[in-house]
């Protein structure tokens, strides 16, 4: 009786998790749309189109954000800094052949185009990585994208390890300073210590995943599907991109 009750509770939790996941966009749809938007940015040469796609990506962050604003703000500030550096570099040291090929025939237009391209590509990437739930993403890779299970689980471990890297590095650096180490050698030794700890942690993680049944035979509770919101998302993005293309080009 208790075993049957546990099975029923597990099924109910799985259904609740699946219904909660459907409130967000399907990761396979997001990956496909982001890839196509990146291709549009790369093959076209219009700063208006780049800025329009960047604004669309920022709107996606506002609508489907799953990360705290502090993390999103740090990513956007880094992207703005990289865009500014790239713009100034292209403007102050222009490529003459690139200027001749451009429509504006000025260093400013070339710098504006290249800088806006970097900003658009970064915005697309930030909107993707801040709006995907990792468990739903891995389930979508396995069920919809037909990614091999070992590769999908490796991606899951890598995503979780990203949050541990900085903490391990700061902890190793603090431990070395408490032991009397100083100077530039602390950073290199802390990096080596972090790598050794992460290698050991990866072995422990692999053993724990095997003990908990993470294998090809593991039954996935999350069943991703394409919902109405995904269809609306695709239609809106397609109409928006077509309209911007007609206006900009």
User: Domain coordinates of the chain in residue numbers?
Assistant: 26-140+225-248, 147-211
Euclidean distance between CA atoms 31 and 118, whole angstroms: 19
Greater confidence (10 vs 151) lies with 151
> Averaged over 3-26, what is the pLDDT?
46
Say yes or no to pLDDT of 3 above 60. Answer: no
Say yes or no to pLDDT of 15 above 60. Answer: no
- Among the listed ranges 63-67, 68-72, 161-165, which one has the minimum average pLDDT value? 161-165
User: How far, in Å, are 66, 142, 203, 207 from residue 216 at the CA level?
Assistant: 29, 10, 19, 15
How does the average pLDDT of the chain come out, rounded?
A: 78
* In contact, 155 and 90? CB cutoff 8 Å: no
Give the angle 32-55-85 at the CA atoms, nearest 5°: 100
Euclidean distance between CA atoms 104 and 112, whole angstroms: 11
The long-range contacts involving 132-138, CB below 8 angstroms and separated by at least 24 positions, are: 132/27, 132/30, 132/66, 133/21, 133/24, 133/27, 133/66, 134/159, 134/160, 135/222, 136/21, 136/24, 136/27, 136/222, 136/224, 137/27
Using the Cα atoms of residue 152, residue 153, residue 154 and residue 156 in order, give the sign of their dihedral.
Answer: positive
- Among the listed ranges 7-16, 147-156, 183-192, which one has the minimum average pLDDT value? 7-16
Q: Is 247 helix (H, G, I), strand (E, B) or coil?
A: helix
> Averaged over 137-148, what is the pLDDT?
82
> Averaged over 40-50, what is the pLDDT?
87
* In contact, 10 and 115? CB cutoff 8 Å: no
**Global pTM value:** 0.70
Tell me the pLDDT band of 210, cut-offs 50, 70 and 90. Answer: low
The per-residue pLDDT for 213 is: 67
Euclidean distance between CA atoms 161 and 155, whole angstroms: 10
Half-sphere exposure of 138 (CA within 13 A, CB side): 17
Using the Cα atoms of residue 135, residue 139, residue 140 and residue 141 in order, give the sign of their dihedral.
Answer: positive
The per-residue pLDDT for 6 is: 41
DSSP-derived secondary structure letter, 216: T
Euclidean distance between CA atoms 141 and 151, whole angstroms: 9
DSSP-derived secondary structure letter, 51: H
Torsion of CA 115, 121, 127, 132, to 10 degrees: -160
Tell me the pLDDT band of 71, cut-offs 50, 70 and 90. Answer: confident
Greater confidence (122 vs 213) lies with 122
Q: Which residue has the tokens 């009750």?
A: 5
Tell me the pLDDT band of 215, cut-offs 50, 70 and 90. Answer: low
């Amino acid at each position: 009786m208790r075993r049957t009750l546990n099975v029923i509770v597990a099924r109910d939790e799985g259904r609740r998790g699946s219904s909660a996941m459907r409130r967000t966009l399907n990761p396979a749809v997001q990956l496909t749309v982001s890839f196509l938007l990146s291709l549009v940015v790369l093959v076209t040469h219009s700063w208006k189109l780049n800025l329009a796609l960047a604004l669309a990506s920022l709107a996606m962050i506002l609508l489907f954000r799953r990360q705290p604003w502090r993390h999103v703000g740090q990513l956007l500030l880094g992207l703005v800094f990289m865009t500014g550096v790239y713009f100034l570099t292209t403007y102050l040291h222009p490529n003459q052949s690139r200027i001749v090929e451009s429509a504006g025939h000025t260093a400013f237009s070339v710098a504006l185009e290249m800088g806006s391209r970097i900003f658009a590509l970064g915005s697309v990437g930030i909107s993707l990585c801040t709006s995907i739930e990792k468990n739903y993403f891995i389930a979508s890779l396995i069920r919809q994208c037909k990614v091999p299970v070992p590769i999908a689980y490796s991606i899951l471990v890598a995503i979780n390890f990203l949050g541990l890297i900085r903490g391990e590095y700061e902890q190793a650096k603090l431990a070395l300073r408490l032991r009397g180490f100083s100077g530039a050698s602390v950073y290199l030794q802390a990096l080596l210590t972090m790598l050794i700890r992460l290698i050991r942690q990866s072995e422990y993680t692999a053993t724990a995943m095997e003990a908990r049944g993470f294998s090809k035979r593991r039954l996935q509770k999350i069943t991703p599907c394409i919902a109405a919101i995904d269809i609306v998302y695709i239609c809106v993005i397609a109409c928006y991109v077509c309209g911007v293309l007609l206006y900009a080009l």
